[in-house]
């Protein structure tokens, strides 16, 4: 039985040039050129984290008062 994951007759759907570009950017410490970073709004994430922390603190205060 031959269960080779890399079969030579199947084309890869990975964009090798894009991967090289992202790897190079990462090696240079510039992670802002990656797809994930470009789709993430850091300010919005900070705001959501602050709101979550405030809700947790309020819930904790409410429990202590009971």
Query: pLDDT tens across 22-50, in order?
Result: 888 777 765 555 555 567 788 899 999 99
Residue 41 falls inside a structural domain: yes
Helix (H) or strand (E) holding 65: helix 42-65
What's the pTM?
A: 0.40
What integer pLDDT is reported at residue 34 of this predicted model? Answer: 54
Of the two residues 51 and 1, the one the predictor is more confident about is 51
> How many independent structural domains does the chain possess?
1
Model confidence at 12, in pLDDT bands (50, 70, 90)? confident
Q: What percentage of the chain carries pLDDT values higher than 70?
A: 65
Cα–Cα–Cα angle for 58, 63, 65, nearest 5°?
95
Residue 48 is part of which domain span?
32-66
Residue 58 falls inside a structural domain: yes
């Amino acid at each position: 039985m031959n269960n080779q994951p890399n079969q030579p007759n199947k084309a890869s759907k990975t964009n090798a040039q894009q991967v090289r570009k992202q790897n190079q950017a990462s090696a240079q410490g510039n992670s802002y050129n990656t797809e994930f970073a470009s789709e993430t709004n850091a300010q919005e994430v900070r705001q959501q984290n602050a709101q979550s922390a405030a809700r947790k603190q309020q819930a904790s205060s409410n429990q202590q008062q009971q």
